[in-house]
Amino acid sequence: MAEKDNNPLCISLLWVQPVSRYFNVFRDETKLDINYVPHRLPHRDKELRLLAEFFNFALQTPGKMSQRVLIVGDVGTGKTALSQRFGADITNEASKHNINLRYIHVNCRQKRGSLFLILQQAVSVFHPNFPKRGYSAEELLESLTQILDEENAYVILTLDEFDSLIEQEGSDAVYKMTRIQEGRQNKPQRLSLICIQRNVAPLQRLDASARSTLQSNIINLEKYSKQQLIDILGDRIQTVFKPQTVPEDTADCIAELAHQENGNARFAIELLWRAGKYANTEDLGIVTPEHVRKAVSSIIPQVRKSDLATLNLHEKIFLLGLARTFKQAAKAHISLAEAEQTYKIVCEEYETKPNSHTQLWKYLQTLTANGIIRTEVLSSGNRGRSTHICLPTTSAAELERELTTILEK
């Protein structure tokens, strides 16, 4: 008999072998990474053109002027993606004109709001081995301008999470960055700024002289509507997933959830990726709304057991019918008529007489108030309008399992 191999290396290698999968829904999931910048930004064309207009001088008359632009918008409105897409586009265009233009993107929060660390990153783009000690922020700024002169280069420096710099270092740092050209009379203007933050409120902490340099060119990004989120998801789905693996109902479910999160496109992209991962673990070859519900429940806390326990018997039965319907049907919404039919079936199972249609409306209101479901009134053609129900943040399978346990007790 062969001697058993107890080599720990062999054992560890067995553990890291990839699990074989019948069908992978992804074509290229890297395009769902938070750092990926798509070539097209749906519903940000106007803002992209405005940025290009603000910085048109960089291509037409480089060195004759500099620019300062402030981009504001809530989380997930595409501020960073907009700036980075513009940076890639303008540097590509500059190279065609033999203009040495660099785009440098720095997250001020990651640099702890330190002007020194921000400038250190900018200098390292040109000189990776530049000493990391022995210089003040002012000396680094002078070194940066000297390097730009020596290399006949121009920089668009984007300060993301700009409010961190304001909070940490105040007006002096902002003033130095925005007024650097004043000490360079008759020399080319080589440094322009794009500052990104959620709103303009942090600017009120600055003194008037520093604030005035940032308030003239503001690009305000509005929150995405549900339809705009559907368009954004459609673009990503086309490039990320294999054909026909993400139905329209699934995209609609994700868009609805992201819209409820203040139109957060970043949240929508995260949900799309997680839902795809859940689909892969089940080898279904399709991403369903149930996978979205599992994905969102891994990000947002699920319905608490205590919330379910406080429901009366028929509210639990009604919700169990909803859970079973969503579990079996790959749909984001079901009609009240479908829910009522399943409710009656579950009532038979638990040997209790179903309540009236009017009573079901009260159950809907209770479950909606508890945040367990959402309802929406939709047009149904010639038949008028009908109520549709959505199970937003809880896996139908997990909800069914929990309610069954409670009811069996």
What's 303-320 look like in SS3? CCHHHHHCCCHHHHHHHH
Same domain, 191 and 275: no
259 with 115, same domain: the answer is no
Closest C-alpha to 264, from 53, 75, 85, 94: 75
Which stretch of DSSP H or E encloses residue 145? helix 137-151
Contact 289, 251 (CB under 8 A): no
Burial of 167 (0-12, 13-18, 19+ CB in 10 A): middle
Q: Which residues pair with 219 in a beta bridge?
A: 71
Q: DSSP code of 241?
A: B
* Whole-number Å distance between alpha carbons of 332 and 370: 19
Mean pLDDT calculated for residue range 103-129: 94
Of 8-17, 125-134, 369-378, the poorest mean pLDDT is in: 8-17
**For residue 193, what pLDDT is reported?**
97
**Same domain (yes/no): 127, 271:** no
Asked if the structure places residue 385 within a domain, the reply is yes
Give the residue with greater pLDDT, 2 vs 317: 317
Q: Are residues 193 and 57 in the same domain?
A: yes
Q: pLDDT-derived band of residue 301, with 50, 70 and 90 as boundaries?
A: low
Q: In what order do the strands lie in the sheet with 374-379?
A: 333-335, 385-390, 374-379
Question: Does a structural domain hold residue 27?
Answer: no
Predicted pLDDT at 384: 63
Q: Which residue has the higher pLDDT, 191 or 409?
A: 191
In whole angstroms, give the CA distance from residue 222 to residue 77.
7
Confidence of residue 393 (pLDDT cuts 50, 70, 90): confident
Are residues 68 and 205 part of one domain? yes
- Mark whether 215 and 348 lie in a shared domain: no
Number of structural domains found in the chain: 3
User: Tokens standing for 88?
Assistant: 């890639």
| DSSP-assigned letter for residue 2 | P
| Residue percentage of the chain with pLDDT more than 90 | 63
Report yes or no on 344 lying in a domain: yes
Name the H helices within 241-356. 248-260, 265-281, 289-297, 305-309, 313-328, 336-349
Q: Report the side by side order of strands in the sheet with 101-107.
A: 101-107, 154-160, 191-197, 68-73, 218-221
| Biggest CA pair distance of the chain | 90
Looking up residue 243, the CATH number of its domain turns out to be 1.10.8.60
CATH number at residue 380: 1.10.10.10
Question: Of 275, 297, 319, which residue sits at a domain end?
Answer: 297
**Domain membership flag for residue 2:** no
- What is the C-alpha to C-alpha distance for residues 81 and 235, in angstroms, rounded to an integer? 15
Is residue 23 a part of any domain in this protein? no
Same domain as 231, residue 217: no
Asked whether residue 231 is domain-assigned, the answer is yes
For residues 343 and 201, state if they share a domain. no
Residue 51 lies in a domain: yes
pLDDT at 379: 66
Element (H, E) at 8: helix 8-15
pLDDT tens for residues 214-257? 878 999 999 999 999 999 999 999 999 999 999 999 999 999 99
C-alpha to C-alpha distance for 160 and 196, rounded to whole angstroms: 5
- Of 221, 250, 279, the one marking the end of a domain is 221
Assess whether 243 and 314 both reside in one domain.
no
> What pLDDT score does 381 carry?
57
* Distance in angstroms (rounded) separating the CA atoms of residues 408 and 191: 70
**Higher-confidence residue: 203 or 132?**
203
Tally the C-alpha atoms within 13 A of residue 382's C-alpha that lie toward its C-beta.
0
State how far Cα 43 lies from the chain centre.
Answer: 15
Q: What is the mean pLDDT of the chain?
A: 88
Pair 230, 283 in one domain: yes
- Answer with the one of 198, 221, 244 that is the final residue of a domain: 221
Which among 33-42, 152-161, 172-181 has the top mean pLDDT? 152-161
State mean pLDDT over 286-299. 89
Per DSSP, the chain holds a count of helices (H) and strands (E) of: 17, 8
Provide the residue range defining the domain that includes 395.
Answer: 305-408
Of residues 183 and 85, more confidently modeled: 85
Is 14 part of a structural domain of the chain?
no
